Amino acid sequence: MIELVPIEPARREKRDIIQWDKYDLDYLGMMKVDVLALGMLSALRRGLDLLGLEDLADIPAEDPETYAMIQKADTQGVFQIESRAQMNMLGRLRPACFYDLVIEVAIVRPGPIVGQMVHPYLKRRKGEEAVTYEHPALERILGRTLGVPLFQEQVMRIATELAGFSPGEADQLRRAISAWRSDGRMESLGVRLQKGLREAGLSEAFCGRLFAEIRGFAEYGFPESHAASFALLVYASAWLKARHPTEFACALLNAQPMGFYAPHSLVDDARRHGVTVRPPDPNVSGYDCTVTDGELRLGLRMIEGVAEARARHLLEERERRPFAGFADFVRRSGLPGGALRRLALAGSFEAFGLEAREALWRLLAQEAWAFPEAEGAQGCLDLDAGDASAPEFPRQDGWERLSADYRAWGLSTQGHPMQALRALQKTRLPPLECVRSSPHGRRVRADGLVIVRQRPSTAQGVVFATLEDESGLLDLVFWKNVYERCRGILEGNAFVRVRGVFQRDRDSVSVLVETAEALRGLKEESEPVWRSHDWH
């Protein structure tokens, strides 16, 4: 490549970029290949290895339990169908076979949405609208998608079989509709397409509607082959979660960074599926997370501020000679002071018989001894014996312990933050599962941790968010005027209370928000940064 195109170093280390764009390559007649780096491929490889499976072909096809989980939109961590929009569609479309997953992957895209193909397909799938075809050829071409063109291949077949396009002209049409925000080529080809369809006997109204749908593909639509390839990864990751949730969670955490959710949400979701999660242990944890005796043990990779090289050094020291105690670990682990303090506050040194605050006191005392010019510096301190003058520390309460966990490794094995928050609140905070069981149209109140904030370009100013607690997720919808009124609350607080109207469409549920406020009662000085998936 360096002999053919100009390449320069990217801003990110060990990355390079080609200075031309794809249109330059087209102009020069050079082939362009997109090679996608999918984190889920790494996660699936790790998950299959944990189960002793060779490849995706070893996964049983069309597993009923897997589809039951998908239909409930219980898909956190699953490839492609874990986003708020995909989960919302799952409850309405209710995939029951592999080709349903192909459609699911393709239909939640700007192309079908802009082309107004989503609602007609769902109505026909539910039997609320008749499936009709204006020409026998259309039944052959669009039968699997109930008369709605969802894939680029279908558009090409319509063009060649009904509008008189040659294969070359159909490929030009494919290029036009697959270009992001296509230029005027789409309009000129559209005139040719509609003329050919009218000559085939199709009505003016149908031709106009079909072209409007096809034009939506210029906002990004999937080829059927692409959707089918993605659907295979959807099914494989869903099967792994449904049948082997412990191995699934372990594989996802070891493949980070990837996916839609922060590790704390993945761990909370794993616990909801019966997975026992253990914190990193300096005596037994490896670098990666592991599955031992059916339990998920977090690895050293989860500790904030610990690079892989330092973690590997720690493991080599432990392999050479097990750590004899707290002092031996501090001396030989090679971990920086910040990481040691986080581990102390998160209770990791209970493995050496030390409660969190006592371990932190000993570390701070040692640091004071290391800098004798510091005010109050002590003499040499025996880390195992401690300091006889140390105060008797009260044990951490639930919120303090959970906050310390989040500072140490960005999640907690103690429970969900909402559980700890309830202990600080004077008013009752019902879990979100109570809200999700409400009838359509009821006014409800919902309290939770905001883990998603999104404003899609196709939503005309509507903002979406997702609340989480120990019982699961709940989607929120903010009309543009409501969002402007609640913007400071939604963007400035991790924990919020909303009131609004409950919406239900089959298994898809959400709250149409009317008001929002911050949940009070937090110990602000100890609140960690809660990671969320915002505005992507």
73-93 confidence digits (pLDDT tens): 999 999 999 988 899 899 899
Name the residue type at position 277.
V
Tell me what pLDDT residue 521 has. Answer: 57
Please give the Cα distance from 147 to 127 (Å, whole number): 13
Query: 66 in helix, strand or coil?
Result: helix
pTM of this structure: 0.86
Tell me what pLDDT residue 363 has. Answer: 87
* pLDDT 10s digits, 249-286: 999 999 998 888 999 999 999 999 999 999 888 889 99
Enclosing H/E stretch for 146? none
Tell me what pLDDT residue 500 has. Answer: 94
Please say if the pLDDT value at position 498 is more than 90: yes
For residues 46-67, average pLDDT: 96
Tell me what pLDDT residue 373 has. Answer: 45
Tell me what pLDDT residue 221 has. Answer: 65
Confidence of residue 303 (pLDDT cuts 50, 70, 90): confident
Query: 433 in helix, strand or coil?
Result: helix
**The length of the chain, given as a count of residues:** 536
- Helix 356-370 to helix 337-345 angle (10° resolution) is 160
Query: Counting Cβ atoms within 10 Å, is residue 486 exposed (0-12), middle (13-18) or buried (19+)?
Result: buried
Task: Show the tokens assigned to 414.
Answer: 């103690």
Tell me what pLDDT residue 375 has. Answer: 44
Please give the Cα distance from 149 to 206 (Å, whole number): 13
Higher-confidence residue of 40 and 208: namely 40
Task: Show the tokens assigned to 333.
Answer: 């682990």
Tell me what pLDDT residue 532 has. Answer: 80
Mean pLDDT, the chain, whole residue set: 85
Confidence of residue 150 (pLDDT cuts 50, 70, 90): confident
Please say if the pLDDT value at position 527 is more than 80: no
* pLDDT 10s digits, 188-212: 777 888 888 888 888 888 888 888 7
**Percentage of residues in the chain having pLDDT higher than 70:** 88
Alpha carbons within 13 angstroms on the beta-carbon side of residue 469 total 21
What are the structural domains, with CATH classification, of the chain? 1-32 (no CATH), 111-221 (no CATH), 276-409 (1.10.150), 429-534 (2.40.50.140)
Please say if the pLDDT value at position 112 is more than 80: no
Please say if the pLDDT value at position 523 is more than 70: no
Please give the Cα distance from 212 to 240 (Å, whole number): 39
Tell me what pLDDT residue 217 has. Answer: 67
Tell me what pLDDT residue 379 has. Answer: 42
Sign of CA dihedral 172, 177, 182, 188: positive
Tell me what pLDDT residue 218 has. Answer: 59
